[in-house]
Amino acid sequence: MGSTLFEKIWDQHSICDLGDGNELIYIDRIFLHERTGSIALKSLEERKVPIRNPNQVFATIDHIVDTFPGRGDKTLMPSGSDFIRSLRASVKGTKIHFFDIDDPNQGIVHVVSPEQGIALPGITYICPDSHTCSLGALGTLAWGVGSTECEHALATNTLIKKKPKLMKIMVDGILPLGVTSKDIILHLISQHGADGAKDHAIEFMGSVVENLEIESRLTLCNMAVEFGATTGIIAPDNKTISYLEGKAFSPEEDFNKAKHYWSELKTDQDAIFDKTITIDCSNITPYVTWGTNPQQAIPISHSIPFVDQIKNKNEKESMIRALEYMGLEQGQSINNQKIDAAFIGSCTNSRISDLRSAAKILKDKKIADNIRAICVPGSSQVKKQAEEEGLDRIFKSAGFEWRESGCSMCFFAGGESFGENQRVISTTNRNFENRQGKSTRTHLASPMTVAASAIAGKISDAKSIGIEQ
Amino acid sequence: MKSFKTFSGIAAPLIRVNIDTDAIIPSREIKTVSKKGLSGGLFAEWRYLSLESRKENPDFILNQDPFKKASILVTGNNFGCGSSREHAVWALSEWGIRAIIAPSYGSIFYSNCIKNGILPIVMDGRVISSMSEFIKDNPEENRLTVNLIKNEVSYSNEVIETFVIQKQDKEFLINGLDQIEQTLQKNSIISEFETLHKKTNPWLNAS
Ligand code: SF4
């Protein structure tokens, strides 16, 4: 019997069996940010436990740092600079690769990582952040951990872990024009629930996945955690290899060796998964969430379900609560729902291709009156590239604010928010209550949908406002 | 870390599905680079009428007697989904929660619980419903007893429900061992593995 991609990488990193299903897994690379990494490093310092191999550790500042032009250590979030300074102090004098605020390669951890060739196919990789699963898009065995597990990995280069169950998701059919991997993952979660992949690691396969560019694959894997999965992974292919060639931390002299290894790295024909889900993309249309969980998503052209359609009592209550929080009615259509703000950013959709696709829609257009729109590039590199291509001018002349890179209003750390009851269409990954600020109403969607909605001033599919990509 | 084997406590039914770690502790309640001082921020958005005044919301279960003294949380599926922030577990633990009973958990949250001495018990939704009914009947008297040695939760003197937990997680909770210390004792096999691993995959070196 053959093995899956996940098992191949897992077995290659298993140091020993600890009994009871647990294995000691070797961790190749660790990435930290100021929000949680600062605590892990400080805690190890206090215990006087050294970092086993600082050269395999990376750190960036993204979560709390402001994204206003001319920013520094001082943050809108009270005490935010303590996190920044604590991380900086901890990495100082160590061999940890550090991307400080003014580093040209600074950015959101999951954007910097592929961009710099830090996440690579076939390696194990962790970060104390739940969206670490994004990196599975490169064939990396990557998952999010808590601070205590991160400390363990920093101190020992290992984690004690039980192999998750494996799920295959076949993404077949032909993806219609104007439909993105964001829509695919929202569709998937809406159909199978926010815990639909609980206890499983997912491998995304199928013709649609093969045709997706690397950045779209990153979006797909990014939201594996919103599906309840331990992580997501996609087999490396020629696109992956050419994407990684020449990146700062990609292998140089050994690139050919690596390339050879990577191109063989895939699930065997006869490998067995614990569960398989097949989706046909041919009929998927742009999605948007209406509730306070990514599973509460529908195609823009559909209406919000009726409460009585939901059988499970707890789900029903959750729906009533969500509708109240969102200021929406059961059965109403979501299309043309008036919005107050639009946000393009986050580790889900802030890469250059995301910005390009939004800019294409915004070109020579203006956002609707009374709308606040913000674009936050995912990394300083993305920002630079966008400016070289003149995308910043398109965003600005359309009426968007153009920011420095960081997590920004993807979440509310006590700094900026759109305000109470403000309805925001957002390219982020979580529409939880209060996620973007107290009582802020978040609708998740693709960059195209967000751009189109910003112009229309209401939730709109790019196609419906007459824009064909 | 406090180790535990068996205890009885007041249980608070907070039956909602998909309670995420942003709800357990909102991000802005994480004010210092520390694992302590977080209980004030626990469920802050639900617990207080206003975050500024910190005036308690009397409708929120953990503000009501006797649930103010709860040590067990009974809740809906996918509890602790979302952000990996371990602060959610540190806040629960500091507030006094020692065990949680839910049909399922966010996976990072689950292991964070184990690492911090909170027992995350998995139980069927139906069991949880009847447990909640029992508790609501007389929350002060109708306590739950958790026995980690026997993998049991008992209530009303006669109903005993069993649960499944991985052996290693159980031992870890019972003995409260320091995992880093334990793993460091394996340093020689880790090093041996590492040398070979890097030799086979020379492209792994980050420099
Ligand atoms: S962009 Fe948002 S989801 Fe991504 S790492 Fe930052 S805070 Fe987390």
Q: What is the pLDDT of residues B29-44, one digit of tens each?
A: 999 999 999 999 999 9
- Geometric angle at alpha carbon B35, from B79 and A151, rounded to 5°: 85
**So what's the pLDDT on residue A382?**
98
**Terminal-to-terminal C-alpha distance of chain B:** 38
What distance in Å separates the CA atoms of residue A179 and residue A259, rounded to the nearest whole number? 31
According to DSSP, the residues that pair with A276 across neighbouring strands are A168
- Strand B99-102 with B72-75, pairing: parallel
Task: Tell which A residues from 50 to 69 touch B, by Cβ distance under 8 Å.
Answer: 55-56, 58
Partner residue facing B16 (CB), from A118, A318, A412: A318
According to DSSP, the residues that pair with B92 across neighbouring strands are none
Cβ separation A15–B190 shorter than 8 A? yes
Instruction: Give residue-wise pLDDT tens across range B179-204.
Output: 999 999 999 999 999 999 999 888 77
According to DSSP, the residues that pair with A405 across neighbouring strands are none
Q: What was the ipTM of the complex prediction?
A: 0.92
A81 CB less than 6 Å from ligand 1?
Answer: no
Minimum-distance ligand 1 atom for the alpha carbon of A345: 1
**So what's the pLDDT on residue A467?**
67
> What residues in A contact B22, CB-CB < 8 Å?
411, 430, 432-435
> What residues in B contact A120, CB-CB < 8 Å?
203-204
Q: Is the domain covering B6-176 a CATH 3.30.70.2190 domain? A: no
Closest-CA distance of chain B to residue A389, Å: 31
pLDDT in tens, chain A (469 residues): 899 999 999 999 999 999 888 999 999 999 999 999 999 999 999 999 999 999 999 999 999 999 999 999 999 998 999 999 999 999 999 999 999 999 999 999 999 999 999 999 999 999 999 999 999 999 999 999 999 999 999 999 999 999 999 999 999 999 999 999 999 999 999 999 999 999 999 999 999 999 999 999 999 999 999 999 999 999 999 999 999 999 999 999 889 999 999 999 999 999 999 999 999 999 999 999 999 999 999 999 999 999 999 888 888 999 999 999 999 999 999 999 999 999 999 999 999 999 999 999 999 999 999 999 999 999 999 999 999 999 999 999 999 999 999 999 999 987 899 999 999 999 999 999 999 999 999 999 999 999 999 999 999 999 877 765 5
Q: Using CB atoms within 10 Å of the CB of residue A68, give its burial: 0 to 12 exposed, 13 to 18 middle, 19+ buried.
A: middle
Find the helix packing angle between A147-156 and B107-115, rounded to 10°: 70
A347 CB less than 6 Å from ligand 1?
Answer: yes
- Mean pLDDT, range B7-26, rounded to an integer: 95
Residue bearing the CA closest to ligand 1, atom 6:
A407
The topology (CATH level 3) of A308-465 is: Aconitase; domain 3 (3.30.499)
Cβ separation A28–B89 shorter than 8 A? no
The topology (CATH level 3) of A5-163 is: Aconitase; domain 3 (3.30.499)
Instruction: Give residue-wise pLDDT tens across range A131-180.
Output: 999 999 999 999 999 999 999 999 999 999 999 999 999 999 999 999 99
What distance in Å separates the CA atoms of residue A392 and residue A389, rounded to the nearest whole number? 8
Q: Backbone phi, then psi, for B156, in 5-degree steps?
A: 50, 35
Instruction: Give residue-wise pLDDT tens across range A259-302.
Output: 999 999 999 999 999 999 999 999 999 999 999 999 999 999 99
Closest-CA distance of chain A to residue B153, Å: 22
Residue B104 sits at the chain A interface (C-beta within 8 Å):
yes
Residue A166 CB coordination number (10 Å): 24
Are A409 and A376 within 8 A, CB to CB? Answer: yes
In chain B, domain spans: 6-176, 178-207
What distance in Å separates the CA atoms of residue B167 and residue B180, rounded to the nearest whole number? 18
Query: In whole angstroms, how large is the CA radius of gyration of chain A?
Result: 21
Considering chain A, tell me which residue range(s) the CATH 3.30.499.10 domain(s) occupy: 5-163, 308-465
CA A132 to ligand 1 centroid distance, Å: 10
Are A145 and A151 within 8 A, CB to CB? Answer: no
Residue B18 sits at the chain A interface (C-beta within 8 Å):
yes
